[in-house]
Amino acid sequence: MNRFELLKIIFEKKDYTLAEKLCMTNVNNDSIRMLAKVLFFNKKYERAEILFKKLHMFTEYGYCRLYQRDKKTADKVWFAQKDESPLLLWAKALSGYIEKEQRREPTFFQIRNFYETDLDTLLSLRMNRYAENLISSIQYFADINPEVYKFTARVLYNHGYYTLAEKFINTAKDYFYEDTELHVIDAEVRMALNEKSAAIKSLQNALDISPAYYPAKKLLANIK
């Protein structure tokens, strides 16, 4: 079986069981890695962790354990590793913050690349205590990367926490009022709160900053 046929099984047929059998027998590590990531992003952590472990991708394996509410094993796996990969360094930092403990200091790009995804996943899995603890450290993250307010607002909006999202949007505006995307997120929140006039105003603000910004133009046209 060639790589193209495997891709069809994974992405068209979504027959992950067959794909796993093939990957464990006669497919190269790149294909196994791809399947593991597909399983992971589909929240099939129990199955993804088998492949990650086979590939010695222990940071990702630790995430599978965390998202199955086995933080003890996740910590054991993460802190046993000595490499300096951005994902592992962030995972070690995350481990502390979700318990309201500051163990590691994340970088600007670690916050930018990983914070939003992890917050979204924690809320999706109803791991609310960890999510709340992560958000409670936002001021510290903001000292490193102020965009974290926008990231948080977007996740909260996507999970239906509209009033809370608006709070973080307002704070984000104090840092990055010229961020066009921020005003679009604000408009989406306003629409969810049935505040049409405020939504239109937010989109007009976005277009004042960037007249050609397509998401703002499209949403404004849909509202009107």
- At residue 2, the pLDDT reads 59
**Mean pLDDT comparison of 32-36, 136-140, 148-152, highest-scoring range:** 148-152
- At residue 216, the pLDDT reads 95
The secondary element (H helix, E strand) that includes residue 107 is none
- Comparison of pLDDT for 30 and 186, the residue scoring more: 186
- At residue 130, the pLDDT reads 98
* Domains of the chain with bracketed CATH: 160-224 (1.25.40.10)
The answer to whether 35 and 20 are in contact (CB under 8 A) is yes
Out of 51-55, 67-71, 109-113, pick the least confident.
Answer: 51-55
* C-alpha span between 14 and 54 (Å, rounded): 22
- At residue 4, the pLDDT reads 66
Give the three-class secondary structure for 171: helix
Dihedral sign computed on CA atoms, order 166, 170, 175, 176: positive
- The pair of structure tokens assigned to 14 is 């979504």
Give the dihedral of Cα atoms 195, 198, 201, 206; nearest 10 deg: -80
Nearest of 153, 99, 148 to residue 127 by alpha carbon: 99
pLDDT of 194 higher than 90: yes
Q: What is the pLDDT of residues 79-100, one digit of tens each?
A: 999 888 999 999 999 999 999 9
Average pLDDT (1-9) is 66
- At residue 35, the pLDDT reads 85
- The pair of structure tokens assigned to 136 is 């409670």
* C-alpha span between 115 and 86 (Å, rounded): 12
* C-alpha span between 180 and 182 (Å, rounded): 5
- The pair of structure tokens assigned to 207 is 């277009």
Q: What is the pLDDT of residues 6-57, one digit of tens each?
A: 767 777 767 777 777 766 666 677 778 888 888 899 899 999 999 899 889 9
Out of 22-31, 96-105, 116-125, 143-152, pick the least confident.
Answer: 22-31
